[in-house]
Structure 1
């Protein structure tokens, strides 16, 4: 049972809308697959994907906004096996990079396939409820796992992130030849950029980091080239540019709702922003810039 309550207000009177589970599991699966990028920030690749000799079928395969492979498993109500199923399929994924890359190339194109981040594939488990033991277990497993509960209120579907484990970003087994070649030229990481930054830029980033994490349910996940701050989907991504002495922040905001200012903020629709597609970009080079950006950052956090 969810602790989320929904009320219909008419004429100043509130009436509770009772929550419910979907009638059958496949109904939930099809609904989320049809709207996966909107609901989970994941681009849909395949449904009921057969894993051959490994046995079984993955409910959904996708690629998230950070370029990470994602396995999505669904359960209509509470089921302790959903996490185990996801882990079993993750083992298959570790040994089938080439197959996943081919699927991505077929569905999303060459660029998406070439930019896949194999360091920490994700499992997303969507169910009516999870036990306390489930939420504790994902912290101990050592892989990236999100536990998301759902509830249906008339024609409203709610999703709530109840637990998330970031795992460790280490290279997995079974990379393709292309992956090996790419690994031979190691790009500079966001942590290296931070270490190379002057003290005033480091302090500015620390203030930005504190602002984003002042919301207790916002998670921080360092990627290779940027730091992602997210709930179910990314709220903001942050890159440091020491040579230009500023920080680049991409926010999940509709550009049509923002008064853009040249040299400070810009519309990123169609420009391929990292981690957040079609949002806005803000450049922060001073505490004054951070103060100007704080309202936009708060809006992004509140509306994501």
Structure 2
């Protein structure tokens, strides 16, 4: 939000809506927790969760993201250099108390969600008024999955969130390793054409911008910033299915290429299904990839 200016348009001209910080940290926490799935793509589990007499702390928010990864959210009203270390401290506790977290998930979201918790990619999301350049550098060098999100309030009813830095931690691998993984998965199921197609999709999605992380589940691969923006299913005999966070009602649907799957069950998340059969289809879908990425 550092360079963003917001104006209220009126018949007589325009008036700037001046950004501000919350009066207290709890105001930010309450707002995010009430709309966590919409804002962060995370299902809310608990607020001010106690870590017991040994750690003697309280996790601001606990949640579960779209791919089943545990999420810790920590808030600061302004700038606080300790927010990252605080989140990592609680993340260490969480990894030592997996059964307790899964019990919480079972209690709030059901047994199916609890059985599908993805412990390979736990996340920390830090939401604050701002971060220092040292915070941003630390996140990019760290081996854990951390997102730094700057907030601003505009007027009485507008909230802005800006991703300053995002690191995929243990899920991060070199691009060559990513391509090799795609090739192995595709070649086992299909042939050379599917290998090329899967590689082209992987490169296109990873190349949309900095901070794109890939989360691998058995049923799909999710590409995310703060939230998922694309989910790619394993290749079928002659096509690759990609699900995007694009409103199908705003897209000219082409039979055999794009399909509205809102309300239909499928792996991953997203209401627009894109069917890819050739590298040319990847080029045709590029504007849809970009739209979904921008909305994430």
Pick the TM interval, shorter chain: 0.7 to 0.9
1:121 and 1:214 map into 2 onto residues whose CA distance is: 24
2:191 equivalent in structure 1: 198
**Cα 1:302–1:163 shift into 2, 3 Å:** closer
1:131 equivalent in structure 2: 132
2:32 and 2:152 map into 1 onto residues whose CA distance is: 13
2:37 equivalent in structure 1: 37
Task: Compare 224-233 and 22-31 and name the one that shifted more.
Answer: 224-233
1:62 equivalent in structure 2: 63
**Cα 1:169–1:298 shift into 2, 3 Å:** closer
Q: Does the 8 Å contact 2:49/2:59 carry over to 1?
A: yes
Whether 2:225 is the aligned partner of 1:231: answer yes
**Cα 1:191–1:272 shift into 2, 3 Å:** farther
1:51 and 1:25 map into 2 onto residues whose CA distance is: 20
**Cα 1:143–1:298 shift into 2, 3 Å:** closer
1:220 and 1:191 map into 2 onto residues whose CA distance is: 18
2:81 and 2:25 map into 1 onto residues whose CA distance is: 15
What SS does the corresponding residue of 1:168 show, helix, strand or coil? Answer: helix
1:49 and 1:190 map into 2 onto residues whose CA distance is: 39
How do 1:114-193 residues align onto structure 2 when only pairs under 5 Å count? 114-154=115-155, 155-169=157-171, 192-193=184-185
1:8 equivalent in structure 2: 8
2:133 and 2:229 map into 1 onto residues whose CA distance is: 27
Per-residue CA deviation, residues 148-204 of structure 1 (Å, 9 max, x unaligned), is 00011112101011011111149xxxxxxxxxxxxxxxxxx8674145353322222
Offset, 1:11: 4.2
Q: Does the 8 Å contact 1:221/1:229 carry over to 2?
A: yes
**Cα 1:254–1:121 shift into 2, 3 Å:** same
Task: Compare 31-40 and 219-228 and name the one that shifted more.
Answer: 219-228
What SS does the corresponding residue of 1:48 show, helix, strand or coil? Answer: strand
2:263 and 2:12 map into 1 onto residues whose CA distance is: 43
Q: Does the 8 Å contact 2:91/2:124 carry over to 1?
A: yes
Offset, 1:292: 4.1
5+ unaligned residues in a row in structure 1: which ranges?
171-188
**Cα 1:303–1:9 shift into 2, 3 Å:** same
Per-residue CA deviation, residues 78-123 of structure 1 (Å, 9 max, x unaligned), is 0011111111111111111111111111111111111110112000
What SS does the corresponding residue of 2:88 show, helix, strand or coil? Answer: helix
2:148 and 2:163 map into 1 onto residues whose CA distance is: 6
2:234 equivalent in structure 1: 240
When the two structures are aligned, how many residues end up with a matched partner?
284
Q: Does the 8 Å contact 2:74/2:87 carry over to 1?
A: yes
2:152 and 2:143 map into 1 onto residues whose CA distance is: 28
Give the TM-score normalised by structure 1. 0.84
Task: Compare 68-77 and 153-162 and name the one that shifted more.
Answer: 153-162
What SS does the corresponding residue of 2:19 show, helix, strand or coil? Answer: coil
1:192 and 1:105 map into 2 onto residues whose CA distance is: 35
Q: What RMSD, in angstroms, separates the aligned Cα atoms of the two structures?
A: 2.4
What SS does the corresponding residue of 2:169 show, helix, strand or coil? Answer: coil
5+ unaligned residues in a row in structure 2: which ranges?
173-180
**Cα 1:12–1:190 shift into 2, 3 Å:** farther
